[in-house]
Amino acid sequence: MKEGKNIMENSKTAENNLVSLSGIISEECVFSHEVYGEGFYIFKMEVKRLSDNEDILPITVSDRLLDVTSLKKGMNVCVKGQLRSYNHYSSKKNKLILTTFAREIIMEPDPGQNPNEIFLNGFVCKAPVYRTTPFGREISDLLIAVNRNYGKSDYIPCIAWGRNAKFAGSLDVGSNVELWGRIQSRVYQKRIDEEMTEERTAYEVSLSKIELVHKPEDEE
């Protein structure tokens, strides 16, 4: 991925879920799970924003892709892959977990490339929520279903701003859309009861561009 912008602009003909992240490993690999003898590990990477803030993003990697012990804290890497979702079931409730599934990891990436970009082609699977913040900023929340192999889908929460928010807020459930943006982490306080709150982190795609491919079939 030499020039991230070109890759993402041309991704319409490639795949429906493309991620490119460049940053510093902030937490080394820990074992997650095993499937048919293939081990999967999770590490976290710090990806800088233009504002000099950073997003701390989880990465899932297979031990068949590379020696996971070679991924050390402080290393500068580029991860190419897909944004995946899965349901985590607990005694309390079902929780949607997001992680970038690594297909390639490059050591010492090109410093000139976009450090955080994603392209998705999917379907609006829940009515968008359009709102205005107390500061007058327009926002729309979207949940996008992105198909992958074997009849599975990933459910990706996205957030649109300004003019994109108005457009996104008008989309019907079932609309096929193409989306460009970046993955962001957001720390928030979850109220447990009247006296206790718990700090949690949400992951979502902050959209910079959105295009309607086609409307739901029953509207065409």
- Beta-carbon neighbour count of residue 31 at 10 Å? 11
3-state secondary structure of 173: coil
Six token digits for residue 82: 């897909």
Q: Same domain, yes or no, for 63 and 108? A: yes
Per-residue pLDDT at 219: 60
Per-residue pLDDT at 108: 80
Q: Same domain, yes or no, for 105 and 154? A: no
Domain that holds residue 190: 119-219
Among 98, 115, 132, the domain boundary falls at 115
Structure-token match 């609309």, residue found: 175
Among 115, 131, 165, the domain boundary falls at 115
Cβ contacts of 186 within 8 Å, gap of 6 or more: 201, 202, 203, 204
* Pairing verdict, β 76-89 and 153-161: unpaired
Which CATH number fits the domain that encloses residue 102?
A: 2.40.50.140
How far apart, in Å, are the Cα atoms of 49 and each of 19, 22, 155?
16, 11, 24
Measured distance between the N- and C-terminal CA atoms of the chain, rounded to whole angstroms: 37
Among 115, 139, 173, the domain boundary falls at 115
Whether 47 is covered by a domain: the verdict is yes
Look at the chain and report how many structural domains it folds into: 2
CA dist., res. 52 & res. 109, Å (int): 19
Per-residue pLDDT at 216: 79
Q: Same domain, yes or no, for 138 and 52? A: no
Q: How many CA atoms lie within 13 A of 77 on its CB side?
A: 22
Per-residue pLDDT at 3: 38
Please list the pLDDT of the chain residue by residue as tens digits (220 residues): 333 444 454 444 348 999 999 999 999 999 999 999 999 999 999 999 888 889 999 999 999 999 999 999 999 999 999 999 988 766 566 778 899 999 999 998 888 889 999 999 999 999 999 999 888 899 999 999 999 888 889 999 999 999 999 999 999 999 999 999 999 998 888 787 778 888 888 899 999 999 999 877 766 5
